[in-house]
A and B are shown apart, each in its own frame.
Chain A
């Protein structure tokens, strides 16, 4: 069975990368499961199963692009539009598990990474773009266009993230002679390659498939495309943060220090002297992760990444904790009213 272009097989990612992505996915799955349980309730199992089956099947269709060429679509945006982005996380993850476990296509160690790309980045980016472009009360034509753009951008975004995953391998794991131990192309090659491949070809496959299906559904079953309400900005943050975390290693590539974030040494070399108070205060706080490097991890890139994740996790954890405390004081359940989603499409005539 032909698999989708951005599907990462086993062996291309080192454990430093794939373990982190497994760790990142676990809370995401847990959150998605909770949200889905609340909205779909007992009906979640068949709906998710159908979503997963459908996602799997979509990956099998040969979509004609130009001339005689065909490609495979992922359908992440489409599923997010129909089932909602959180349900899409689970449905697509399940489709990927089945691809690996039942059909023997797709990696097992790389499962976390693939789920992150195709089951998290793609559906969220696609879904929120779709909503943003559709606006309120859109015509079907507008929906179709919004879905197409959403799908295209989502796929390219996911491809870039995959490219980053590939591209950091040579930095993270190499021998003394410079030989790559896993995926052999550096960021400068991997990211543009993945991006171009999807900008020029697979993105269009995705857009064509998504637009066509949305158009057909808009005619026959418009309720399937109804908006899941209240896209809280909070969710933008989650998705955005995840992407940013992965992009942080790029900071290692940029020379110099961010403007304004100078420490004592930099100021000294820049200006010639160090303000007295800065000297005093500078020594007080011995950061747990000085210079954004994780102690014990010598490789800069990896250290950066870990630091980013730990930092983000701390922020989120503290924010969540504070929010929970406040909500409890107010007597409500954390995130209940704010994050409620509507019932799934009503049962159709039998």
Chain B
């Protein structure tokens, strides 16, 4: 299995002395479904943006599909077109991502930028709209849509580029329970289609459900755990130390009941439950 992404010694600082990522070594294989978990501020979003060539390491290297992923490399129009088509990014807030005047323009934006012929673009738009069941809202401007519809339009607008890799930033945030279930189904479909999925989230139960690999980022912006969901999620002490879960104590009659739980949409309070 080939590696889609290889990061070595990657470090990123937005401002001097304020690192967002520190000493990251990570390899993501094609077809893997990875969840990057960590508390807010641990650098999950930054890592994701790095995978999409939106930010670049201050030191260290990153390779994508076998070639170095640098700012210069992306200056080349052919490389850029190819890379952008291969990697799709679904942002945390759908609003950020929807900037066209109506939904069908939104879906068409990517393929049009890729320079595809009109009828091919129209075909992809129809397909993606069908897949995500948004045919009805295609001619409406994004601001008239509900939260769930916006999210679906956002995802569809990425899918029309037919990417091999899908990067999702906090996908379950702001989704109602039914939509969360729907999203997990979509992620499953993609897994079966063989796409690589990298998801940044602090929602441990969504991570457990859909990922086959979990990478934990600490508040020092380094990787402190990397393994299957079973392996990682049982390490209570570790999860506590990175502030992904916390403990509180309450009493039942005369016994003190201590348990750890996570917060966030769909958080499972029984996770790492202990007496």
Do any beta carbons of A and B sit within 8 angstroms of each other in the complex?
yes
Residues of A within 8 A of B18 (CB): 349
Residues 11-54 of chain B, each 1 if its beta carbon lies under 8 Å from chain A, else 0: 00011001010000000000000000000000001100100000
The reply on A348 being an interface residue by CB < 8 A is yes
Is the contact region of chain A dominated by helix, strand, or loop, or is it mixed?
A: loop
Residues of B within 8 A of A349 (CB): 14-15, 18, 20, 46
Residues of A within 8 A of B45 (CB): 350
The reply on A176 being an interface residue by CB < 8 A is no
Q: For window 310-350 of chain A, which residues contact chain B by CB distance below 8 Å?
A: 347-350
Residue of A nearest to B41 (CB): A349
- Least CB distance, A2 to chain B, in whole angstroms: 22
CA distance in complex: A350, B45 (Å): 7
Residues of B within 8 A of A350 (CB): 20, 45-46, 49, 55
Residue of B nearest to A46 (CB): B99
Chain B interface, number of residues (Cβ within 8 angstroms): 8
Residue of A nearest to B44 (CB): A350
Residue of B nearest to A347 (CB): B14
Residues of A within 8 A of B55 (CB): 347, 350
Residue of B nearest to A45 (CB): B99
Q: For window 184-206 of chain B, which residues contact chain A by CB distance below 8 Å?
A: none
CA distance in complex: A350, B52 (Å): 14
- Least CB distance, B251 to chain A, in whole angstroms: 42
- Least CB distance, B70 to chain A, in whole angstroms: 17
- Least CB distance, A343 to chain B, in whole angstroms: 14
CA distance in complex: A347, B45 (Å): 14
Residues 45-62 of chain A, each 1 if its beta carbon lies under 8 Å from chain B, else 0: 000000000000000000
CA distance in complex: A348, B13 (Å): 10
Residues of A within 8 A of B14 (CB): 347-349
CA distance in complex: A344, B55 (Å): 17
CA distance in complex: A347, B14 (Å): 8
Residue of A nearest to B19 (CB): A349
Among A347, A348, A349, which residue has the most Cβ atoms of chain B within 10 A?
A349
CA distance in complex: A349, B20 (Å): 8
Residues of A within 8 A of B15 (CB): 349
CA distance in complex: A348, B14 (Å): 7
Residues of B within 8 A of A347 (CB): 14, 55
Residue of B nearest to A349 (CB): B14
Q: For window 223-277 of chain A, which residues contact chain B by CB distance below 8 Å?
A: none
CA distance in complex: A348, B45 (Å): 13
Residue of A nearest to B18 (CB): A349
CA distance in complex: A348, B49 (Å): 13
- Least CB distance, A271 to chain B, in whole angstroms: 71
Residue of A nearest to B20 (CB): A349
What are 11 A-B pairs at a CB distance below 8 A? Answer: A347-B14, A348-B14, A349-B14, A349-B15, A349-B18, A349-B20, A350-B20, A350-B45, A350-B46, A350-B49, A350-B55
9 nearest A-B residue pairs (beta carbon): A349-B14, A350-B45, A350-B46, A349-B20, A350-B49, A348-B14, A349-B18, A349-B15, A347-B14
Interface residues in chain A, defined as those with a beta carbon under 8 Å from any beta carbon in chain B: 347-350
